[in-house]
Structure 1
């Protein structure tokens, strides 16, 4: 039946292209000479927002081209607890790897990015964290546009969010901070875990260092609180299930095409007023190497929403980037923007685990096939049970003490006093594959205000070849020092008297380890939190650096705009999906204002 419906959709697409739908491939587009007002490159977190909001105006036609396939019927995407199975090394992942990372003792690591409708919102860890007021005020200050400040973005925070409060919300969140009428669903953990009370009891006992925070999305995230997650009724809420839900896909002016790779953006002419080159044509093919390439032109704008890896990759293959580097590779330079692909910023990540005096952890679920089958059956039939939540129930956001020797020796990398330097993620077990026996408690740490910067570059002239990705994780002494202090903080946390009968022994690194030994452990085991940003960063108008102006249009060009995490000058001290939704909401209004 599904094949029949898809075939009908493609036939309709090929014949008239006059009604909106979701298409499995671009065969109809190839045979059509129809024009679109807007072409959105990437049906991910930001691209889905743009497509939804622009098609609210029935006079605007929008084409979305997504390189990946459908998000539907993929359990590892849909079931919240399975999120760590969604990537890497799956069809829903681009399956990138990094260069050898100096800060990770020369290790090359997987670098997941969503290769599916909904993009990384379909495969991420589900955490919905806006970041601090200071983060957004820094965006406004550095771009010269107050529209990117926290206070000015609050309407967009509310516009994107549909919060689902629990039945007993006491001391779990602050309703005044949230919206209950937006599009993307956000909720709190729904299945109680053995570590919940223990984490908050420890927070209370060690409140000077680990204070309780009732709502980390208030703009003042410091402290420990309940994780807020993009989950609706026990299933993942992604950009694909929210902004591109069936009622929006059905709009006659919205066309979403899957399995279609955009290889370049091309000059379509020049602006009649300014003489600046206009880039409103895209080159595309199926997502199979060697496929024929075709072109389609937007009458108004092309919006690149391919993400912090995909967007610079497309720009550089289009000749937009550092002209000398592109020419040396054999790509004809078209528009010199040396900042393209530079300024890559990401969060480094590390897990530390302890053996505990309990049998009530999800390690048993991971090891016991019978328990796993029972849990999946419960989720399938009632959307209840242990699979309805992500693996993380609580999150902590913490700063180094003001008198820390680290802050005496290095400039503070955070955006301000409300922003954390590191994160703690509390997990009732060992994520993934636990040891064969025993039960465990895990606290993962992330450096969320990093000073290291990396890059995305090309390794060939073939757009189907993956880019060279160097996030430079733990590439500075400051970042390593912050991670070291983050691990020391977890050791102090588990040493609290209230956990004396619970924590038995560490299985990762002993609390007696020297700094040298701890640094070696960190470099040998740290990875990425998969939050790359900054590779097409915004800067003030007429600045000699950056890639986009504060309205997110590409500097020196017309008809080409970028809306995704690549435009952030700095990585937000939070998980990035919320900030991408928020930025995209405002970007949609900027586009609407231009094309009334």
Structure 2
């Protein structure tokens, strides 16, 4: 049965409320009014969830939040597991898979993933790289590894300088960072006060965060190694203090042992609001021009559909359309709509609405490399992969009271490091330090207590430590372009990984691996680490290391920058596609709020910076006078004209809820 033949479905996710979550069906579309919503938000991820929550704080503001992916499948809190190459995958992708932190790896390539792939990457031996992006309520916050970092003072101050808007400076975004945060270290965390700075955190916000609540045997070894090598690896009490540099404990968006995400923290708590509707299983294929203001198009319409062969519907917001579909989805929609480089669009027969060359350009991501080390101890998290009895015990612990190893993320400790100021790479005429400043890292080292190989392959028996080394200040810039005018055909994604002309990126990846090896060669690890394991062990010369990196590196999935902010006004390729208030240059009534807006990728995991963007964007939108009403007429061929009949829908929801 096709989606269009399914009945309208309104799902109540909590006993407190009858929430307006509509599935993308003909019945649902028929009950959406053409002029009912002030704002249509496209994408229910980190940014879209924040915007939907904050904009509907005003009861007079009506919002429709549209998500291409599904809602959660809410079932009992049990999950059947089966072994899959030393990892575990649930027999059914339900909310428990999303909620259990330890199961984050199984969400990649699942029904909750867009399953994008890059074009062959020259800098990675012409390999096509898998790109995981969330296609579910909560977006990528529902499938990522939950790492909680704000980025550095210098990253935010550079954003302020780049956009000419001091509102993006560290001192001005810090209140937003604290506003969104509910940092509550578990009582199980030992010596917690030495692992974070109380003054640097918020405790009343919606997003749960904390430190790992399970101590691992390698934790003390890591601390000992840091003290031994403190001249290179300083101790950093709190990576979210504004200065990220040094060895520190890893904060996660995990609270009470479960994943904290945009769906749980921003969307679900406000579903009782009568001025918010959430439409799932529905893809926005383009934005629509609804009027003109002089020579400037007003773009407050969207075209949406439930599937490739389903009917398309046009819907107009009374104030604005806000794209929050992510750094791949958002430029894809803009290009299909005729907003982008006019010469490129013309080749595909797309009429240009606005010639905006920056759309789809400036793509950036963080390259990632795993290196494995065999250890002598049998006390590692590899046991959670090997021992089915232990798996059952840990699942029972998590199901009962949200404790145990299933509450863990990828690591308990890491180090964020910079190249030395006098590093030879900075002596090259074509290299200027791409970092934002001294508080911003060039690379990251993650120390994981088990064997990890993101690229797949055979998994060995034994016990391991995995070093994950990531580049966080890439010089490479790539692009996203259309592959087809079919909105259901993925675009051409080319981040240009490890392919900068100066060679900075591959050099810094090499230096990161060397730094990780130095850390793990400290006396503190003697008797624990046996040897480096696998192909990397033979990579000793610079040429060998570079070859190993190009053959094995992947990405952290932090794609950013494809609809970048710049200073107000200018519309050239290097000037950015957005004004500092997220309004799209050259049109009215349209904004972009998501990771695509960053002109420089943050030297950080990107979830929390995106929350911060959206928190401030909400205030900018609330205080804006830029919103223009749509034309009384609309040239679109198919309109949603039926009345909303919310009373009838809520009654229907009541009946459905009683049968669940």
Question: Does the 8 Å contact 2:119/2:492 carry over to 1?
Answer: yes
Change beyond 3 A, Cα 1:11–1:358: closer
| Structure 2 unmatched ranges of 5 or more | 1-5, 13-17, 74-93, 628-660
CA deviation after TM superposition for structure 1 residue 213, in Å? 0.5
Name 2:70's counterpart in structure 1.
Answer: 69
* Residue in 1 that maps onto 2:48: 47
Matches within 5 A, 1:325-336: 325-336=344-355
Q: Distance in 1 between matches of 2:410 and 2:316?
A: 44
Q: Which residue of 1 aligns with 2:77?
A: none
Residues 190-209 of structure 1, C-alpha deviations (whole Å, 9 max, x = no match): 11111111111111110011
Within 5 A, what are the aligned runs for 1:365-384? 365-384=384-403
Give the Cα–Cα distance (whole angstroms) in 1 for the partners of residues 70 and 608 of structure 2: 23
State whether structure 2 residue 459 is matched by structure 1 residue 458. Answer: no
The answer to whether the 8 A contact 2:370-2:452 is kept is no
Aligned pairs (5 A) from 1:307-318: 307-318=326-337
2:584 aligned with 1:558: no
Distance in 2 of aligned mates of 1:364 and 1:459? 44
Q: Secondary structure at the match of 1:504?
A: strand
Contact 2:11 2:22 (8 Å CA) reproduced: no
Q: Are 1:20 and 1:253, in contact at CA under 8 Å, matched by a contact in 2?
A: no
1:84-103 correspondence to structure 2 within 5 Å: 84-87=105-108, 89-103=109-123
Q: Deviations over 1:53-82 (max 9, x none)?
A: 000000000000000001353333211011
- Distance in 1 (alpha carbons) for counterparts of 2:386 and 2:347: 52
Q: How does 1:471-486 map to 2 (within 5 A)?
A: 471-476=495-500, 477-486=503-512
Alignment-derived partner of residue 634 in structure 2:
none
What residue is the counterpart of 2:554 in the other structure? 527
**Structure 1 CA distance for aligned equivalents of residues 474 and 516 of structure 2:** 19
How big is the shift at 1:170? 2.7
| Equivalence map 1:142-541=2 (5 Å) | 142-167=162-187, 168=190, 169-245=192-268, 247-271=269-293, 275-286=295-306, 288-409=307-428, 410-431=431-452, 435-476=459-500, 477-508=503-534, 509-510=536-537, 513-541=540-568
Displacement of 1:275 in angstroms is 4.5
- Structure 1 residue 9, shift from structure 2 partner: 5.4
**Aligned mates of 2:140, 2:547 — CA distance in 1:** 31
Q: Per-residue deviation at 1:285?
A: 0.2
Give the drift of 1:33: 5.2
1:138–1:415 contact (8 Å) kept in structure 2: yes
Q: Matches of 1:256 and 1:11 in 2, distance apart?
A: 10
1:549 and 2:579 matched? yes
Q: Is the 8 A contact 1:71 1:118 kept in 2?
A: no
Q: Does 1:588 align with 2:609?
A: no
- For the residue of structure 2 that corresponds to 1:299, the secondary structure is coil
> How far off is 1:418 after superposition?
1.1
Distance (whole Å) between structure 1 residues aligned to residue 551 and residue 98 of structure 2: 29
CA apart distance, 1:135:
0.3
The Cα of 1:10 is off from its aligned counterpart by 4.0
Q: CA deviation at 1:382?
A: 1.9
Q: What secondary structure does 1:48 align onto?
A: helix
Contact 2:385/2:391, CA 8 A, preserved across alignment: yes
Question: SS state of the match for residue 354, structure 1?
Answer: strand
Give the conservation status (yes or no) of the 8 Å contact 2:150–2:604: yes
Indicate conservation of the 8 Å contact 1:184/1:238, yes or no: yes
Tell me, yes or no, if structure 1 residue 27 matches structure 2 residue 26. Answer: yes
Contact 1:305–1:311 under 8 Å retained in 2: yes
Return the alpha-carbon distance in structure 2 between the equivalents of residues 588 and 349 of structure 1: 33
Contact 1:302 1:560 in 2 (8 A): yes
* 1:472-521 C-alpha deviation (Å, 9 max, x unpaired): 11112100000000000011011101111111010142277111111110
2:633 equivalent in structure 1: none
Classify 1:489/1:33 alpha carbon distance in 2 versus 1 (closer, same or farther; 3 Å): closer
User: What do residues 156-203 of structure 1 show as CA deviations (whole Å, max 9, x unaligned)?
Assistant: 101111101232423110000000001111110011111111111111
Distance of aligned partners of 1:68 and 1:49 in 2 relative to their CA distance in 1, 3 Å threshold: same
TM-score (norm 2): 0.86
- Please give the per-residue CA displacement for 1:352-390, whole angstroms capped at 9, x wherever unaligned: 110011111111211222322221122111211101011
Q: Distance in 2 between matches of 1:228 and 1:458?
A: 37
Q: How many corresponding residue pairs?
A: 581
Aligned to 1:3: none
Shift, 1:338, TM fit: 0.7
Contact 1:46/1:305 (<8 A) preserved: yes
Q: Hey, what's the Cα distance between the residues in 1 that align with 2:460 and 2:586?
A: 58
CA contact (8 A) 1:163 1:179 kept: yes
**What's the secondary structure of 1:243's corresponding residue?**
helix
Give the Cα–Cα distance (whole angstroms) in 1 for the partners of residues 132 and 450 of structure 2: 23
Mapped partners of 2:551, 2:513: distance in 1: 14
- Following TM superposition, by how much is the alpha carbon of 1:7 offset from its aligned partner in structure 2, in angstroms? 6.8
- Deviation string 1:332-366 (CA, Å, 9 cap, x unpaired) is 21110011000001000001110011111111211
